[in-house]
Amino acid sequence: MRVLVALLWSSLVILPVRIEGQIPARSPELARRADSLAGLDPGTEVRKAIARRDHRLIAVCGYACVPPGVDLRDTLVQRALERLRPIVGTSDAILNADVARLNKVSSEYATRYNRLLLAALRRRASSRPAS
C-alpha cells in the first residue's frame, strides 16, 4: 500500500499538470490567422467582395465589434453597421503574443479594407445616373 501511495504522489510531482483556465503560452490557430491576413491584399479582396455584392465592413472585436478606419458618424458607415464581418479571434483579452499580433494585423488590414470599400462604394454611387 505504501508503494502505491508513493507512486501516486510521485506521478503528481513528475507529470505536468494543466490547471483549468490556465492562460495558453501560444495560440497557434490565431497565429495562422494573423499570417493569413498579413498575406492578403485589401484592394484585391475589396474587388472580390464587390463582385459578389458583399458590401460589409470588416470589424475587429474587443468589448464590442467595431470597423476600424472609418468615421462612425458617416451615413454610409451607419447603414453598414447592421451587417459587419468580424475577424474571429480578435479580442480585448490579450492572453498572449499571438492574440496581440492578430489584433494588430487585423486592425491594420481592416482599416485599409474598410477605407477602400467605402471609396469604391462612393465611386459607384456617384457614377450612377440620378433617378
DSSP state of 56: P
Query: What's the whole-number average pLDDT of the chain?
Result: 85
Is 118:77 a contact under the CB 8 Å cutoff? yes
Check residue 18 and give its pLDDT.
47
Q: What number is the average pLDDT over the span 27-37?
A: 91
Is 61:91 a contact under the CB 8 Å cutoff? yes
Choice between 130 and 79, residue whose per-residue pLDDT is larger: 79
Check residue 1 and give its pLDDT.
60
Q: Long-range contacts for 44-53 (Cβ within 8 Å, ≥24 apart)?
A: 45/113, 46/113, 46/116, 46/117, 46/120, 47/120, 49/117, 50/117, 50/120, 50/121, 50/124
